[in-house]
Chains A and B, each alone.
Chain A
Amino acid sequence: MKFKTLDRRVIYLFVFLALSWPLLKGFSIKPARMKSADKFYEIVDQTKSEPNKFAFISFDFGPSTKAENGPQAEVVVEHLMRRRVPVVLFTQYIQADPFLKSIPLKIKAALEAEMPGQKWIYGKDWINLGFRPGSGLLIQSIPKSTNLADLFGVDAFSTPLKEFALFKKPKTLKNISLLGQFTGLVGLFDSYVQFFQTTDYKPVFGHGCTSITIPEAYIYLDSGQLQGLQEGIAGAAWYSKRLTDAYPNRKPDNAILINTGLGIAHLLLIFLIILGNITGLISRSKGG
């Protein structure tokens, strides 16, 4: 049977061609509805733009999981910036540092192009705290802090936080209306579940995970420790669709394109698995 001796490089070529086609043609298919991503969308949509309140968003991902966590983080930060909820960006993962700078700037450019006359300004609409080491120890100190400006001191560009209007008055955990965290690293996510709360206050928590950690993340959704979840690129694609429905002038983003490629790759894999099994059965029946 020729299939048995098929060079694996032929399969790689098929996968490459199948994935390249939608990318080159810009072809996209409607993403499937993801209930958990819907919940994430709702909690962000219900976050009010109030003085002294802000969203605390942690980008804990690097280039290795950027394909999934990047689009997830982008759609949530975009949603918050559209709703004029101030966003404080932060990371515990050093390789995420460039994304803290590039993602809000990319969103600002897109929003200002979409809505001429409106401006999104650093220091007012978003603040970048940059990379901070300390893992669980630092996360634990956030709820205990009586003034987050004293705890963090300066932003990623060495500007004292007290110089920003948002941090002029002392801010604590209770001023954080929403916590969003995007990572493929389960350990960092756990730190937030464990320590980002006081006995009388816990911000609404939305999480973006990679596809690998979806089964684990569902546990936290079921227990109520998470209020929203974006499951891999599929979650980001559905969230993106919800955003486009709500803001029709919005330009399509990467999430739906990658999700389309992923769907086609899955179809190809299913086809190959079925083909492999059929040829295997035929070969066995012939005593091969």
Chain B
Amino acid sequence: MNTDFALWTVIMAGVATLAIFSFLIKENPFYRFFEHIFIGISAGLISVQGIRYFLWPQILVPMLGLDIVTYPDGTASKPYEPLLLLYIVPLLFGLLYYFIYSQRYAWLAKLVIGFSLGASAGLAFKGFFAEMLPQLASSFKPLVVMEDAQINYLQSVSNIIFIFTLLAVMYYFFFSIKADSAVEKKFSASGRWLMMVCFGSFFGSTVMARLALLVERLQFILIDWINAIKTVLIA
């Protein structure tokens, strides 16, 4: 990458970061301007990158034979593969999606949507079993863990807590039978409390993730951006 370009990229990124952070002080036109830029870029970036990094180099270039070099003596670096023209079929099929804008031919778009739904449902069905069965199997844990003919108390307590939590939370969501007795109610309530503990850990980890992002941005501003500004000013 050109050094000047890289430098100005860092400066621009710093300005954009500060603009977004300026919202912390109060809503302002500087923030609003960069927010709109960000939304516009996000929308455009995916389609541009899809074409630049996938559709063009991996589909169109080989299909059109643009990767074949013709030498001065007329020979080619490799023969053209006519079967690559078959890429046209899924390309055209995918393009049918745009008929969603036509009242008359919207049914053509439904073919693509139906195909996508069918494929997704099939994958989800297969994926569910591949993902959940090992977890179901691993939830059968011994309540007393023996190691070298001795009880591993720590692991045993851990397994007991695991099994209790599993059953209590499942019971909380079991709505077919009304929990009337005091034991049932307490068991169900403990399921709710254990879920609260889980949500608390989720919240804590969310705060941790957000702060990690903030630290990285501050590092960028305080070190990379300031250095880039200094380089420009000195130059």
Contacts and interface: CB of A to CB of B under 8 A. Distances in A.
B80 to A, nearest CB: 14
A64 to B, nearest CB: 7
B155 interface: no
Contacts of A287: none
B96 interface: no
Interface in B182-235: 198, 201-202, 205-209, 211-219, 222-223
Interface residues of A, number: 58
Contacts of A107: none
A94 B222 contact: no
Interface string A180-214: 00001000001101110100000000000011111
A177 B53 CA distance: 27
Given A94-B49, A136-B123, A191-B127, A257 B208 contact: no
Contacts of A15: 214
Interface in A95-138: 95, 97, 130-133, 136-137
B54 interface: yes
B154 interface: no
B140 to A, nearest CB: 11
A66 interface: yes
A70 B45 CA distance: 21
A131 B53 CA distance: 7
B134 interface: yes
Given A137-B119, A210-B209, A158 B67 contact: yes
A154 B58 contact: yes
Given A194-B126, A266-B211, A66 B206 contact: no
Interface string A256-273: 011001100110010000
A20 B220 CA distance: 11
A67 B127 contact: no
Given A67-B215, A191-B127, A212-B206, A153 B138 contact: no
Nearest to B26: A9
Contacts, number: 135
Contact of B208 (A132, A158, A266): A266
Interface string A222-266: 111100000011100000000000000000001001100110011
Nearest to A66: B216
A23 B61 CA distance: 46
Contact of A194 (B119, B127, B202, B223): B127
A140 interface: yes
A60 interface: no
B61 A158 contact: yes
B203 to A, nearest CB: 10
B24 interface: yes
Given A133-B50, A232-B208, A232-B212, A224 B127 contact: no
Contact of A265 (B127, B202, B215, B222): B215
B27 interface: no
Given A68-B212, A234-B208, A261-B218, 5 more contacts: A194-B128, A215-B201, A223-B138, A257-B219, A261-B215
Interface of B: 24-25, 45-46, 49-50, 53-54, 57-58, 61-62, 67, 119, 123, 126-128, 130-131, 134-135, 137-138, 198, 201-202, 205-209, 211-219, 222-223
18 contacts: A67-B212, A67-B213, A67-B215, A67-B216, A68-B212, A70-B216, A130-B54, A133-B54, A154-B57, A154-B62, A156-B53, A190-B131, A191-B127, A211-B208, A215-B205, A223-B134, A254-B219, A265-B211
